[in-house]
Amino acid sequence: MNSGAASLRPRSMKMPEPLLNSGGLRGLYVRTFGCQMNEYDSLRVQRLLAAMGYVPVDEIGRADVIFLNTCSVRGKAEQKVHSFLGSLRRLKDAKPHLKIIAGGCVAQQLGEKLLDRFDHLDIVIGTRAVSSVAQVLQRVQESGGRLAWLPETDDGYQMSEIGFPTPDLRHPTPDTRPPTSVTAPVTVMQGCNNYCSYCIVPYVRGPERSRPAGQILEEIRLLEESGVREILLLGQNVNSYGRGLDEKITFVGLLRRIARQTGVARIRFTTSHPKDLTDELMSCFAEIDPLCKHLHLPVQAGSDRILARMNRGYTAAGYVEKIRRLRSICPEIALTSDVIVGFPGETEDDFQKTMELLDEARFDNLFSFRYSDRPNTRAAAFSDKVENSEAARRLLELQSYQADITLGKNLAEVGSVRDVLVEGTSRASNGQMTGRTTQNRIVNFEAPLSSIGQICSVKVVFAYSHSLKGVFIAK
């Protein structure tokens, strides 16, 4: 472990070690809140702790270790984390050897304060310390104490821990085999330098840093070997990938290398910042075959005054012009976005400008949020807050407007034949498979189990607000 803030607190009594099952394995329960970055880190934790003999369990009661990956991007997300942590006290009382670890953004933000607040919590681990989770757990198990580990620099990636599967897991006992997934996330960069005035991410994830391309390609090859067909490249602002690396490479260069040097069927990425979306990147959607025809491009607001207060670095007209160009380069592209309503100082007129933008942009889908104050951010100090009830009304109006647009877009799919990458069995309807089109629409349809991992031709026969129903045509 490298230098950083660490504190070890003694517990009054050393806990007995857990009883191991016959294979020497212990249960690991992982609960992830928040974004895909957290999903990715949770996978890393599973792989790292697998090397210590921990196997994932679905029932929390069977856990010897609980890893809680927390999110603090909005106030509501943080509240959920606090109430979940509180609910674990009874479990800990009943099972004293249980170790509870909190990672992710709330852990980074509150550090030792989280240990103070929840005395049944054993470990707080910062966003830059995921790689050390096994060592930290071991230290706490040996000492019987409690630990906050918040290094100021990255503990670093090691291929053996993020590559999937690790050499040990490649020949696992049946119990330890990680479920092979058809799609997998791959982090290309961490942190953010943009400091949008509402956003906590730069404070809890640190400054922007890119991973070397060779490391990313190696990870993708390992994923491919284990059966992954689609990768999702992750970063808070992937468009600025490559800054600060010794090698000269841009995000476009990285996409081209992945398409050339690996055999993945599909590539997706998220998130793109509108101010950094270049014509060159737009052209990739027409030129790079495995690149899915979908872009998530958060706009946040339709009023230039609010966009400036948010420190977003573009205007509504500039945004609309970019998506117009994008659609002319790649007419079949699906566009999704994020919007915040009730940002401090947002008037009814500003809000109507956001509604007008939705009308113009006609997003295929939208994630919309009510603004909430986040610690350390500039907007938290703005005095002209919008009343909660007013922000709630605006959110409802916006969501119902967008729901019609989304349904209309889904209805327009009926009758078309789409390539669907089958991800697994559908949760909603028995005996059905579920997958996604290149535009990221979910399609459920009847097909044999052997279609998992295959790209199938599917005729869309019905549209719902969040998914499509299809009929299998051919593999």
* Helix (H), strand (E), coil (C) string for the chain: CCCEEEEEECCCCCCCCCCCCCCCCEEEEEEECCCHHHHHHHHHHHHHHHCCCEEECCCHHHCCEEEEEECCCCHHHHHHHHHHHHHCHHHHHHCCCCEEEEEHHHHHHHCHHHHHHCCCCCEEECCCCHHHHHHHHHHHHHHCCEEEEEECCCCCCCHHHHCCCCHHHHCCCHHHCCCCCCEEEEECEECCCCCCCCCCHHHHHCCCEECCHHHHHHHHHHHHHCCCCEEEEECCCHHHCCCCCCCCCCHHHHHHHHHHHCCCCEEEEECCCHHHCCHHHHHHHHHCCCECCEEECCCECCCHHHHHHCCCCCCHHHHHHHHHHHHHHCCCCEEEEEEEECCCCCCHHHHHHHHHHHHHHCCCEEEEEECCCCCCCCHHHCCCCCCHHHHHHHHHHHHHHHHHHHHHHHHCCCCCEEEEEEEEECCCCCCEEEEECCCCCEEEEECCHHHCCCEEEEEEEEECCCCEEEEEEEC
195 binds ligand SF4 (CB under 6 A): yes
If the CB atoms of residues 73 and 420 are measured against ligand SF4, the closer one turns out to be 73
55 binds ligand SAM (CB under 6 A): no
Strand-pairing partners, residue 365, are 336
371 binds ligand SAM (CB under 6 A): yes
Question: Contact letters (x/-) for ligand SAM, 227-256, by CB under 6 A?
Answer: ---------xx-------------------
Tell me which residues in 162-181 interact with ligand SF4 (CB under 6 A). none
Q: Is the dihedral of CA 401, 405, 407, 411 positive or negative?
A: positive
Q: How many residues bind ligand SF4 (CB under 6 A)?
A: 10
Phi, psi of 125 (to 5 degrees): -125, 130
Residue 369 interacting partner from ligand SAM, ligand SF4, none (CB closer than 5 to 8 Å by kind): ligand SAM
Q: What is the C-alpha separation between 361 and 287, in angstroms, rounded?
A: 23
198 binds ligand SAM (CB under 6 A): yes
Compute the least distance from the CB of residue 125 to ligand SAM, in Å: 20
The span of 255-263, 364-372, 407-415, 458-466 binding ligand SAM (CB under 6 A) equals: 364-372
If the CB atoms of residues 57 and 357 are measured against ligand SAM, the closer one turns out to be 357
The span of 242-250, 368-376, 410-418, 459-467 binding ligand SAM (CB under 6 A) equals: 368-376
If the CB atoms of residues 298 and 302 are measured against ligand SAM, the closer one turns out to be 298
Compute the least distance from the CB of residue 46 to ligand SF4, in Å: 25
Among the listed residues 163, 202, 290, 470, the single contact to ligand SF4 using CB under 6 A: 202
Among the listed residues 241, 369, 445, 472, the single contact to ligand SAM using CB under 6 A: 369
210 binds ligand SAM (CB under 6 A): no
Strand-pairing partners, residue 471, are 459
374 binds ligand SAM (CB under 6 A): yes
Compute the least distance from the CB of residue 392 to ligand SF4, in Å: 22
Residue 282 interacting partner from ligand SF4, ligand SAM, none (CB closer than 5 to 8 Å by kind): none
372 binds ligand SAM (CB under 6 A): yes
Q: What is the C-alpha separation between 373 and 199, in angstroms, rounded?
A: 9
121 binds ligand SAM (CB under 6 A): no
Residue 371 interacting partner from ligand SAM, ligand SF4, none (CB closer than 5 to 8 Å by kind): ligand SAM
If the CB atoms of residues 101 and 233 are measured against ligand SF4, the closer one turns out to be 233
Q: How many residues bind ligand SAM (CB under 6 A)?
A: 18
Compute the least distance from the CB of residue 367 to ligand SAM, in Å: 7
First to last CA, the chain: 49
Residue 202 interacting partner from ligand SF4, ligand SAM, none (CB closer than 5 to 8 Å by kind): ligand SF4
199 binds ligand SF4 (CB under 6 A): yes
Compute the least distance from the CB of residue 29 to ligand SAM, in Å: 25
39 binds ligand SAM (CB under 6 A): no
Site residues (vs ligand SF4, CB under 6 A)? 192, 194-196, 199, 201-202, 236-237, 273
Q: Which residues bind ligand SAM (CB under 6 A)?
A: 35, 73-74, 198-199, 201, 236-237, 271, 273, 298, 300, 338, 340, 369, 371-372, 374
